[in-house]
């Protein structure tokens, strides 16, 4: 049954989550611009996975970046390399306590995405000079593509697996030649 195949149990909440920002922050506060649906209030987003957090070290939206996982491996497809490079100024990955955070197994990145509507003070932070380097270091497969391929991926019946299998992953040796 379709509903049984899609059913996922809610994971046990980890004690620490990770949040990325280009800003040096003392207190994370919920923001209205970071929300999932129009009718939701201001939120803070975090992940139990540093790789997923690293993907948010630069500002992006679904109009030019596609993010997901294929067989539990995170990927990011970026349709505007110049825009990305202008926005990649590095940033911080913050460690934050998870007490006020919850995950919704029907929304967003599911078990990899937690939200809170309460302010939280980070317990640690790590600086990364480059979002791209951080993503590569944490194992995110990054692809720079043109708008045509990006559009094809959005309409692909297999969630883009076949198209992505033909793309070249950016690595530290090739990133300056892209």
| For range 104-128, the mean pLDDT | 89
Looking up tokens 């302010």, which residue turns up? 119
Closest CA to 21 of 38, 40, 44, 49: 44
- Between CA 66 and CA 150 the distance in angstroms is 8
Say which residue, 146 or 31, is predicted with more confidence: 146
Q: Do 58 and 88 contact (CB within 8 A), yes or no?
A: yes
The least confident of 3-7, 40-44, 84-88, 174-178 is 3-7
Say which residue, 174 or 92, is predicted with more confidence: 92
Spell out the residues 6+ positions from residue 144 whose beta carbon is closer than 8 angstroms to its own.
Answer: 78, 81, 84, 170, 178
- Between CA 67 and CA 105 the distance in angstroms is 17
Q: Do 120 and 100 contact (CB within 8 A), yes or no?
A: yes
Helical (H) or strand (E) element with 14? none
Say which residue, 33 or 106, is predicted with more confidence: 106
- Between CA 72 and CA 122 the distance in angstroms is 27
Closest CA to 16 of 45, 48, 51: 48
| Ordered domains of the chain (ranges, CATH) | 14-171 (3.20.170)
| For range 56-78, the mean pLDDT | 91
Helical (H) or strand (E) element with 94? strand 91-97
């Amino acid at each position: 049954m379709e509903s049984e195949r899609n059913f996922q149990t809610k994971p046990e909440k980890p004690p620490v989550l990770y949040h990325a920002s280009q800003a040096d922050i003392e207190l994370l506060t919920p923001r209205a611009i970071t929300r999932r649906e129009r009718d939701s209030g201001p939120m803070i987003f975090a992940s139990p996975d540093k790789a997923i957090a690293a993907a948010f070290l630069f500002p992006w939206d679904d109009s030019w970046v596609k993010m997901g996982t294929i067989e539990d491996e995170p990927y990011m497809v970026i349709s505007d390399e110049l825009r990305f490079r202008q926005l990649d100024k590095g940033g911080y990955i913050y460690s934050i306590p998870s007490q006020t955070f919850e995950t919704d197994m029907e929304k967003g990145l599911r078990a990899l995405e937690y939200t809170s509507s309460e302010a939280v003070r980070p317990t640690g932070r790590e600086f990364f000079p480059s979002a791209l380097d951080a993503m590569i270091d944490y194992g995110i497969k990054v692809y720079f593509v043109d708008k045509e391929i990006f559009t094809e991926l959005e309409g692909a019946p297999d969630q883009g697996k076949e198209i992505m299998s033909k793309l070249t992953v950016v690595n530290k040796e090739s990133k300056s030649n892209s």
